[in-house]
Amino acid sequence: MRYKEIFGVLILAALATAIPLRAHGATVGIDVNVGPPAVVQETVPAPREGYTWAQGYWDYDNGRHEWRKGHWERNHPNEHWRNSEWHEHEGHWTLERGHWDRD
């Protein structure tokens, strides 16, 4: 029984190191054959000290596009926020989710 537990931990550790990292978190790509609807126009609130506004975007979940409202992200030293955006290439749409990039 002990060997199964050790083997399970080793498998989990191997999987964890195989996840691509970007800035402070893992990125998960979404690739679909259907482009997102038109962007929803949101009212951007007044600037908030120490925070950056992350624009809303169309996510893809459960086989359909779902709007995610904009929100505040606490600033990260020496980094800038990149909003989520969709990219089309040869009929395939890929979502790059918002994230912090190093300056």
Per-residue confidence (pLDDT) for residue 101, from 0 to 100: 96
DSSP helix/strand/coil, 72? strand
Low-confidence ranges of the chain (pLDDT < 50): 7-25
Per-residue confidence (pLDDT) for residue 8, from 0 to 100: 46
Q: Which residues contact 37 (CB under 8 A, 6 or more apart)?
A: 58, 65
Per-residue confidence (pLDDT) for residue 9, from 0 to 100: 42
> Any idea where the domains of the chain sit in the sequence?
2-102
Per-residue confidence (pLDDT) for residue 37, from 0 to 100: 95
Per-residue confidence (pLDDT) for residue 30, from 0 to 100: 79
Q: Which residue has the tokens 């931990």?
A: 9
The beta-carbon contacts of 91-95 under 8 Å, at least 24 apart in sequence, are 91/33, 92/31, 92/32, 92/33, 93/31, 93/32, 93/33, 93/34, 93/35, 93/36, 94/29, 94/30, 94/31, 95/29, 95/30, 95/36, 95/57, 95/58, 95/59, 95/60
